[in-house]
Amino acid sequence: MSRIGKKVIAVPEGITATLDGQTVTAKGPKGELTFVVNDDVLVKLEDGVFKVDPKNNSKNARSQWGMSRTMISNIFDGVKEGFSKTLEINGVGYRAAMQGNKLQLQLGFSHEVLYDIPEGVDVKVTKPTEIIVSGFDKQKVGQVAAEIRKYRPPEPYKGKGVKYADEFIFRKEGKKK
């Protein structure tokens, strides 16, 4: 049985949450998010507390149960506080800068990389080697951070490239004579 799915989700203060069929909507200071729960999962709202249960004992229902509870919890966290990911750039001459609504990256290519920032996501360049991606939708924040990292992932010999701040790069030893 799912340990995560058993936990109830209390609606935090300052957030308006509604349940319309299988659609959970949360409105807070950061914005509004909705999540449509899978049909194999039952969602109940009683006294400001969400409870998630599987409809039956099938493998699909049990696998969707914990994920649905986590997604509902994430939309509450997002509209209340938001999410952020920090990226670090390592390498000689590698740097980032904001150019209007675009992120300009110099990553050792013969050209600059321009990344269009989607709506709902805020990107800040605090230092030329540090990028902070933030927003209220956890999926969008993670996707934007992954797309920026994908331009030049860190390599294992010198560690050059774009990496998450909390990521560990396993370093390899170079060639021996």
- Could you list the pLDDT tens digit for every one of the 177 residues in the chain? 668 888 888 988 888 998 888 899 999 898 899 999 888 899 988 888 999 988 888 888 888 888 999 999 999 999 999 999 999 999 999 999 999 999 999 999 999 999 999 998 999 999 999 999 999 999 999 999 999 999 999 999 998 999 999 999 999 998 887
Q: What is the reported pLDDT for 60?
A: 87
Side chain identity at 156, as an amino acid letter?
A: P
Q: What is the reported pLDDT for 128?
A: 94
Side chain identity at 170, as an amino acid letter?
A: F
Q: What is the reported pLDDT for 12?
A: 87
Residue the block writes with tokens 């670090």: 88
Residue the block writes with tokens 């991606």: 133
Tell me which residue of 160, 151, 159, 142 sits closest to 104, measured CA to CA: 151
11: helix, strand or coil: coil
Characterize 123-162 residue by residue with b for buried, 16 or more Cβ atoms within 10 angstroms of its Cβ, and e for exposed: bebeeeeebbbbbbbbebbeebbeebbeebebeeeeebbb
- Domains of the chain and CATH, by start: 3-80 (3.90.930.12), 83-164 (3.90.930.12)
- Residue 158 — φ and ψ, nearest 5°? -115, -10
Q: What is the reported pLDDT for 1?
A: 61
Q: Burial, 83: exposed, middle or buried (Cβ in 10 Å; 0-12, 13-18, 19+)?
A: buried
Give whole-number Cα distances, 158 to 43, 116, 177, in Å: 49, 29, 18
Q: Are 31 and 17 spatial neighbours (Cβ–Cβ below 8 Å)?
A: no
